Amino acid sequence: MKSLLRYKMGRPTAEGVWPRVDGVCLVPMFALLAAAMLPLHAVEVRRIASRDAHQGVASDGQHLFAISNHSITRIDEASGRQEVRWVGDPERFRHLNSCIVRKAELVCADSNYPDIPMDSRIERFNAVTLQHLGSLQLEVGYGSLTWADWHDGAWWACYANYDRWGGTPGRDHRATMLVRYDSGWHEVARWRFPQAILDRFAPMSASGGAWGTDGLLYVTGHSRPELYALRVPQGGGTLVPVAIITTATHGQAIGWDRKDERLLWTIDRGMNELVSSRVPAIAHGNYPLCVDRRPLASMRSRARPTLPGVGRRSSCSSWQEKSR
């Protein structure tokens, strides 16, 4: 009774956790209302026009790289001046999706979308001249490579699957997969996306992704003006949703600004523009994420409030818990 009384007063129990009834964490109503009234928003800062702002953008802190299906433009970030442009053979470079800058190279994810069977490659370019340096064929079977990033001494790659055009028969967006590789591109572990995020991808998939300096993985879908912050459990399994952040642009590949850790570059493909936005810092451990795995019959028939980005079947852990 004391625990429930303290819950009604908006405080945790003496043990420092919110009380539970039938395995369900009782989140104080003020927290639910605050979450509903104060969603996270990325604030737009700047736009730069580029005809290649069609698939994604990358940053090295001084230059931006606008990415289209088979062309890339290198842009001086300070002035917005377009310095170098590379155009590849459309039959050879079918669908460049995204790039990152690593050391002196531009490392890009390429696929044969919308053809099937799906084929995925890593393409490497000189980050100054944009000269093509080489290709790496990736394994067939997981899906269509949409983005790759380097983090914590490893390569991370996302394979998209689709419900419609470009999808493999018998699979849909729910088969989207995150794979970790070692430095030599040997597979180490795999993760599925949580249902709460997959529902927002449908009928497409994850189009962009980049690790934040806060240890969270940030992912975009294809069309929604949203950015998803995810925690990646060790060793594989299912990614854990942490936050949903509204953005000024609609999906596609993304890149953090190398000189400003909370400045994110995205694209507005309808306007052919690169867009920078300031992403709010996500405070870890502010809210509990304690929804029991068992479905409750009493809650099936009515909608219940949920914290942003939290799936109703997630296991008990700290809301916005810091990535391991």
The closest of 200, 238, 254 to 67, measured between CA atoms, is 254
Instruction: Give the single-character DSSP code of 28.
Output: -
What is the reported pLDDT for 166?
60
Are 224 and 291 part of one and the same domain? Answer: no
Are 152 and 183 part of one and the same domain? Answer: yes
Residue 205 token pair: 């998939």
Determine contact, residues 197/186, Cβ cutoff 8 Å: no
| Residues β-bridged to residue 311 | none
Residue with tokens 């026009």: 49
Are 150 and 202 part of one and the same domain? Answer: yes
Instruction: Give the single-character DSSP code of 42.
Output: P
With respect to residue 17, please indicate whether it lies within any of the assigned structural domains: yes
Cβ density class 204-219: b for 16+ within 10 Å, e for less: bbbbbbbbbebebbbb
The conformational region for residue 11 under phi > 0 = left, psi -120 to 50 = alpha, else beta, is: beta
What is the reported pLDDT for 140?
73
Work out the burial of residue 22: count CB atoms within 10 Å of its CB; fewer than 13 is exposed, 13-18 middle, 19 or more buried.
exposed
Query: CB neighbours of 215 closer than 8 A, spacing ≥ 6?
Result: 322, 323, 324
Per-residue pLDDT of the chain (324 residues; tens, 9 = 90+): 333 333 333 344 343 444 444 444 444 433 443 343 346 999 999 999 999 999 999 999 999 999 999 999 999 999 999 999 999 999 999 989 999 999 999 999 999 887 878 899 999 999 999 999 999 999 877 999 999 999 999 999 999 988 876 666 667 778 899 999 999 999 999 999 999 999 999 888 889 999 999 999 999 998 899 999 999 999 999 999 999 999 999 888 999 999 999 999 999 999 999 999 999 999 754 333 322 222 323 322 333 333 333 333 333 333 333 333
Long-range contacts of 169-176 (CB under 8 A, 24+ apart): 171/143, 172/202, 172/203, 173/198, 173/201, 173/202, 173/203, 173/204, 173/205, 174/198, 175/143, 176/143, 176/201, 176/205, 176/206
Are 19 and 100 part of one and the same domain? Answer: no
With respect to residue 188, please indicate whether it lies within any of the assigned structural domains: yes
Are 137 and 226 part of one and the same domain? Answer: yes
Residue 19 token pair: 């009380």
User: How many angstroms from the chain centroid is the CA of residue 259?
Assistant: 20
Are 269 and 300 part of one and the same domain? Answer: no
What is the reported pLDDT for 117?
87
Q: Which of 262, 278, 294 is the last residue of a domain?
A: 278
What is the reported pLDDT for 101?
98
Return the CATH number at 225. Answer: 2.120.10.30
With respect to residue 23, please indicate whether it lies within any of the assigned structural domains: yes
Are 161 and 240 part of one and the same domain? Answer: yes
Are 79 and 170 part of one and the same domain? Answer: yes
Are 262 and 225 part of one and the same domain? Answer: yes
User: Count of alpha carbons within 13 Å of 321, Cβ hemisphere only?
Assistant: 18
pTM over 0.85: no
In the chain, the number of structural domains is: 2
Residue-range definition of the domain harbouring residue 294: 2-38+286-319
Determine contact, residues 38/78, Cβ cutoff 8 Å: no
- Phi, psi (5° rounding) for residue 190? -135, 150
With respect to residue 230, please indicate whether it lies within any of the assigned structural domains: yes
Tell me which H or E stretch contains 226.
strand 226-231
With respect to residue 324, please indicate whether it lies within any of the assigned structural domains: no
Are 201 and 304 part of one and the same domain? Answer: no
Q: Report the alpha-carbon angle 64-69-72, nearest 5.
A: 30
Are 63 and 171 part of one and the same domain? Answer: yes
Distance CA 208, CA 171 (A): 20
Are 81 and 175 part of one and the same domain? Answer: yes
